[in-house]
Structure 1
């Protein structure tokens, strides 16, 4: 079973589409699968992340890698956590 990399996003987030270009190459490397989480569906996430998306995380919304990031920065963030 692969672990999930969560992409906190919302409908129409153009920066989120740019972030996916940086995320995709890291999924196989770290044996992760991407799951998008729409922050509009969760009032707590919306309050916490509305001005920060796109952000990625492994499940703890207090420990996220926030945009802007590139493949190297994301890989380093993941390496420290996995």
Structure 2
């Protein structure tokens, strides 16, 4: 099982699309996905305000930015 974080913010339509894309992937191994509201953290808000949604892989802090072109590969690594 792998851990991932989806950086999002309130009223973000792209974030909802990103979440749906992650849930629709036909994965062989389950993943744990935590939602992170960047508006709760000034440092995250400053860094990612115009970039969300961003998917982060916890084991190596790799980032996949929207649009998620290689989502399946990113989730499987």
Pairwise TM-score range, normalised by the shorter structure: 0.7 to 0.9
- 1:26-59 deviation line (CA, Å, top 9, x unaligned): 4853421111000001111111111100000023
C-alpha RMSD over aligned residues: 1.9
Which is strand-richer, 1 or 2?
2
Structure 2, gaps ≥5 residues long: none
Work out the CA distance in 2 between the residues paired with 1:28 and 1:78: 8
TM-score normalised per structure 1: 0.76
- Give unpaired runs (5+ residues) of structure 1: none
Partners of 1:30 and 1:54 in 2: how far apart?
23
Q: Count residues with an aligned counterpart.
A: 75
Question: TM-score when scaled to structure 2?
Answer: 0.80
C-alpha distance in 2 between matches for 1:13 and 1:19: 10
